[in-house]
Amino acid sequence: MTDLSWVVPLPVLVPLFGAGLALALWRAPRAQRVISVLSLVVTLGAAVTLLVAADAGPVVLDAGGWAAPVGIALVADRLSTLMLTVSATVTLAVLVYSLSQGLADGDRGAPVAIFHPTYLVLTAGVSNAFLSGDLFNLYVGFEMLLVASYVLLTLGGTGERIRAGSIYVVVSLLSSVVFLLAMGLIYAATGTVNLAQLALRLPEVDPGIQLVLQVLLLLGFGIKAAIFPLSAWLPDSYPTAPAPVTAVFAGLLTKVGVYAIIRTQTLLFPDGRADTLLMVAALATMVVGILGAVAQNDIKRLVSFTLVSHIGYMVFGIALSSAAGLGAAIFYVAHHITVQTTLFLVVGLVERRGGSTSLDQLGGLARVAPGLAVLFFVPAMNLAGIPPLSGFLGKAGLLQAGVADGSPLALVLVGAGAVVSLLTLYAIVKAWNKAFWQTPPVELEPVRLPRAMVGSAG
């Protein structure tokens, strides 16, 4: 069989190389665009290659030829390559969308030159997090995301964006400190941070210490994943950014945290001692997120709160600690990356066409932009879980796994999941009716939407 280990680092190295090249060509925006697109096309090709190869078994690369625990391991298995392929597809689509939009929602004076290298660093950070075979490299991926995210959040330099970026940085630094503390304690207890070796050594550690390590990791990753009560930062941070930035953040950044929870819970702590804690957190995340969405009158904030609520579904599947629950959770993560990203891109088109994200200021879009109405309707119904769309399949799998579990708390979550789906439908339909069907406060001017934006959102 052909050795494809050389392909494993490409999803990290190609975007980083592209970022350096794009930064060097900061005076040539057209060259930057070409470099960015080519870098992400190569990244997607490498991800698909690894996805196919991983079906026959994990593809592992020890960076520099140094084996664990000294070296850094990159592991391409079925889970990591699935996440990698979905993320590469999404980042490429968002980039194509962004090529037709100024980075300040139509303001071409925004610093475009810094967008492309920063966006490629963000892509490399996501890829690195998914491929990491050890906690240290996962931490490096998180820090790459932190730096790139702050720059992207504050593009345009408005006071609102600076404030949102500052909140995001403070919260992310707190997450990083907790993760770093957990990693230091894990190394002190086991002598390694390699995930494969930890799976063998952690069972030998005192159960009380294991629980402390598990809770610290859940706390660090829970902030990244926006699990309640660690989610208050998200609805205030995401809506202030330009549509392409908001879309890729909503689709990917929280899912990196969820992915880290899946990895550590299943590989390092398979005994399920934290399942009750995770179920309670899942329930609270679902309920608080959707109640926040129902109360919103701004379409960006509404969709941001639905993002929080749907993180609860993923955590529910993880907490079940069953093959059915975990499989449904992974399916739901992949589904949600694509659907939530698409919905935020369409909301960007709504803002561009209607001139606002306030539902009181929108209206009549179905008459002047029927194609946009369809583009919003399909992912919105998918998010609500209407059959036969993927959202319905994911939620049905999660609820079925919850019923099979049979515990009282799992059954409560099954009922909550059904109710939250109905409330999601209510919130989405409210936004749909106001934005597309109510009489607009002012007559809409004809505005042509760029084909690249519409195509990538669809």
Domain membership of residue 303 as a residue range: 274-458
- Torsions phi, psi for 385 (to 5 deg): 85, 35
- Residue 112, pLDDT > 80, answer no
Secondary structure string (H, E, C) spanning 20-71: HHHHHCCCCHHHHHHHHHHHHHHHHHHHHHHHHHHCCCCEEEEHHHCCCCCC
H or E element in which residue 74 lies: strand 73-76
- Is position 193 within any domain? no
Least confident of 73-82, 231-240, 370-379, 439-448: 439-448
Contact 244, 341 (CB under 8 A): no
As to burial, measured by CB atoms within 10 angstroms (0-12 exposed, 13-18 middle, 19+ buried), residue 140 is middle
> What average pLDDT does this structure show over 398-419?
94
- Residue 53, pLDDT > 90, answer yes
Give me the pLDDT at residue 439, please. 76
Give per-residue burial for 20-32: e unless 16+ CB within 10 Å, then b. Answer: ebbbebeeeeeeb
109 — pLDDT class (breaks 50, 70, 90): very low
Pair of tokens at residue 292: 């926040």
- Is position 83 within any domain? no
Contact 165, 153 (CB under 8 A): yes
User: How far is the C-alpha of 236 from the C-alpha of 47, rounded, in Å?
Assistant: 33
**pLDDT digit string, tens, across residues 239-266:** 778 888 889 988 898 999 999 999 999 9
N residues, the chain: 458
- Torsions phi, psi for 132 (to 5 deg): -60, 135
437 — pLDDT class (breaks 50, 70, 90): confident
**Which position has the token pair 């002598």?**
191
- Is position 283 within any domain? yes
Give me the pLDDT at residue 103, please. 54
Pair of tokens at residue 184: 């230091």
Q: How large is the C-alpha radius of gyration of the chain?
A: 21
- Is position 395 within any domain? yes
Pair of tokens at residue 196: 């494969």
User: How far is the C-alpha of 104 from the C-alpha of 157, rounded, in Å?
Assistant: 9
Cα 229 off chain centre by: 18
- Torsions phi, psi for 86 (to 5 deg): -65, -45
Pair of tokens at residue 322: 């069953």
Least confident of 3-7, 106-110, 127-131, 196-200: 106-110
**pLDDT digit string, tens, across residues 155-209:** 776 777 788 888 888 888 999 999 999 999 999 999 999 999 999 999 999 999 9
Which residue, 94, 84, 98, 83, is CA-closest to 43? Answer: 84
**pLDDT digit string, tens, across residues 423-436:** 999 999 999 998 88
Amino acid at 154: T
Tell me which range, 231-245, 263-277, 351-365, is most confidently predicted by mean pLDDT.
Answer: 263-277
- Residue 454, pLDDT > 90, answer no
451 — pLDDT class (breaks 50, 70, 90): low
- Is position 241 within any domain? no
Give me the pLDDT at residue 359, please. 87
User: How far is the C-alpha of 318 from the C-alpha of 323, rounded, in Å?
Assistant: 9
Count of structural domains, the chain: 1
Angle (CA) 329 61 65, round 5°: 150
- Is position 290 within any domain? yes
- Residue 155: HSE in the Cβ half-sphere, 13 Å Cα cutoff: 31
Read off the pTM: 0.91
Q: How many CB atoms lie within 10 A of CB 126?
A: 31
The β-bridge partners of 76 are: 59
Higher-confidence residue: 351 or 454?
Answer: 351
User: How far is the C-alpha of 335 from the C-alpha of 424, rounded, in Å?
Assistant: 16
- Is position 405 within any domain? yes
DSSP 81-139: HHHHHHHHHHHHHHHHHHTTS-TTTS-TTS-HHHHHHHHHHHHHHHHHHHHBSBHHHHH
H or E element in which residue 276 lies: helix 275-294
- Is position 438 within any domain? yes
- Residue 105, pLDDT > 90, answer no
